[in-house]
Structure 1
Amino acid sequence: MTRLTSTIRWDIQLQFRNGFYYASAFVAIISVLIMGQFPNADWGYILPVILFENLLINTFFFISGLVLLEKGEGTLEGLIVTPLRKWEYLVSKIVTLTLLSILESLAVTLIIFGFGLNWLTYLLGVVILCAMFALFGFGFVARYDSINTFLFPAIVFTTLLSLPIIDYFALWESPIMMAHPFQAPMLLLKGGFQPIQAWELVYGILYGVVWTAVLFIYSRRAFHRFVVLKQGVR
């Protein structure tokens, strides 16, 4: 536990030193300034989608940036010969990026919407979304060594991850969307602002937790294949 705590502390310092907290604060300020121009908007309906996309940036792309940075500096490969376990590395990244994302999300939400949230579903949605985005991000970026080869595939991939937004706005409704990994945490995030049914809450929690566990296993295997063995690295 001491090793994990030290890793979390180091990751926070690394993220702060590389401007992640400044970038997050900038995004929050710009978001608030833009949304403040529309005081009559139904933010209880719109905010879940804005937060969804902000969390995507704060976790998927931030962890991708960290991994590419650590690869470039040789830090990630150096971890192989240290006592730090793969699961500790991943947990540290999830915890620190989730903390950063919660701070940004709360700042935007409280300024624009206020305190009238369903806090349980709101926080569950944010935490599960962050964990899943971060794990998807690591599993995806692990096979790349440069931003040039990573960026375009990442844009295509994250567009697919954002498909629940289409269902949320009722642009295309289908039971098939219930199988999408991010439909569950999207429902939880929605439940922070709007009433949702009991089955939606149960589905959101259980399906989200199952996917988080699956992605954690996937990310550990990606670490072993692409970082340790260097198979198929691009």
Structure 2
Amino acid sequence: MKRLISAMKTDVTLQIRTKLYHVGIGVAVLIAAMLAWLIDPSQLFAYIPALMLLVIGGTTMMYVAAMILFEKEQGTLNATIVSPLRTSEYLWSKILTLTFLATLEGSVMIGGAMLVMHFLSGVTLPNIPLLLLGMVLIGILYTLVGILLVVRYDKITDFLIPMSAAFIILQLPFVYFLGWVKMPFLLAIPTSA
């Protein structure tokens, strides 16, 4: 347990140094402002699932790729192999810290949009516990998919094509949520939950 906590502290420190928190919160604030400006408050609840998939999922996958590729480039993955840190602890550290970042980003994005809408005209609150659970599950899923995809690549440019393919497949439920298509089989994709 001590190794996992130590690895998580190191991951959070690295995420702060590489400005992932700055980028994530900045993107979330920009999207919150756009949502408050473009979407009618009565329709926000319909857009939240699609936003979770598109924004939180996409940024989480890019964050995990950036972190692992940075660690490869710096040689810290080679050092991790000979350290007492187990592979499972390394993976759990990435999953937990990046899921926290994704949840924070999603909370700022949705919470910021709801706050602005509340002051402008009023907004209906979504089911907050269910929303947080969805953010956590999306963070975990996209972190794991990102890890599975990035391990064989050494450059971010090599990673972008396979990431795009996985991203498109995982994002398909958003067209169902927005009502663009009525194909219930899209709900079989894990991200539809």
Bin the TM-score by the shorter chain.
Answer: 0.7 to 0.9
Q: How many residues align?
A: 184
CA contact (8 A) 1:44 1:113 kept: no
Equivalent in the alignment of 1:228: none
1:135 counterpart = 2:144: yes
For residues 63 and 173 of structure 2, the distance between their equivalents in structure 1, rounded to whole angstroms, comes to 21
User: CA offset at residue 152 of structure 1?
Assistant: 2.1
Provide the residue aligned with 1:28 in structure 2: 28
CA distance 1:113–1:168, shift in 2 (3 Å): same
The TM-score, its normalising length taken from structure 1, stands at 0.73
Structure 1 match to 2:121? none
Partner in structure 2 of residue 118 of structure 1? 127
Question: What SS does the aligned partner of 1:36 have?
Answer: helix
CA positional deviation for 1:87: 1.0
The superposition leaves residues 201-229 of structure 1 with CA deviations (integer Å, 9 ceiling, x where unpaired) of xxxxxxxxxxxxxxxxxxxxxxxxxxxxx
Relative contact order, higher structure (CA 8 A, sep 6+): 2
Partners of 2:53 and 2:184 lie apart in 1 by 21
Residues 103-114 of structure 1 correspond to what in structure 2 (within 5 A)? 103-113=104-114
Deviation sequence 1:105-151 (CA, Å, 0-9, x none): 11222222258231221111111110000000000111111112111
Output the CA distance in 2 between the equivalents of 1:176 and 1:146.
35
Residue 53 of structure 1: CA displacement? 1.6
Specify every segment of 5 or more residues in structure 2 that has no aligned partner in the other structure, as ranges.
116-123
CA positional deviation for 1:65: 0.7
Equivalent residue runs for 1:71-220 within 5 Å: 71-113=72-114, 116-184=125-193
| C-alpha displacement of 1:100 | 1.3
Letter in 2 for 1:21: Y
Q: Residues 13 and 82 from structure 1, CA distance in 2 versus in 1: closer, same or farther, beyond 3 angstroms?
A: same
1:71·1:145 contact (CA, 8 Å) conserved in 2?
A: yes
Q: Hey, what's the Cα distance between the residues in 2 that align with 1:83 and 1:139?
A: 23
User: How far apart, in 2, do the equivalents of 1:32 and 1:172 lie?
Assistant: 26
- Asked if 2 retains the 8 angstrom alpha-carbon contact of 1:141 and 1:150, the reply is yes
- SS of 2:108 mapped into structure 1: helix
Runs of 4+ in 1 over 6 A off after TM superposition: none
Using structure 2 for the length normalisation, give the TM-score: 0.88
Mark the CA change 1:166 to 1:59 in structure 2 (over 3 Å): closer, same or farther: same
Kindly state the Cα deviation for residue 47 of structure 1 after the two structures are TM-superposed: 2.4
The percentage of aligned residue pairs carrying the same residue is: 32
Q: CA RMSD in A?
A: 1.7
Matching residue of 2:38: 38
Q: Deviations over 1:77-125 (max 9, x none)?
A: 2211111111111111111111112222112222222582312211111
Give the 5 Å matches for 1:8-19.
8-19=8-19
> Structure 2: how far apart are the matches of 1:39 and 1:149?
36
Q: Which structure 1 residue ranges, 5 or more long, are not aligned?
A: 185-234
After TM superposition, give the deviation of residue 39 of structure 1 in Å: 5.8
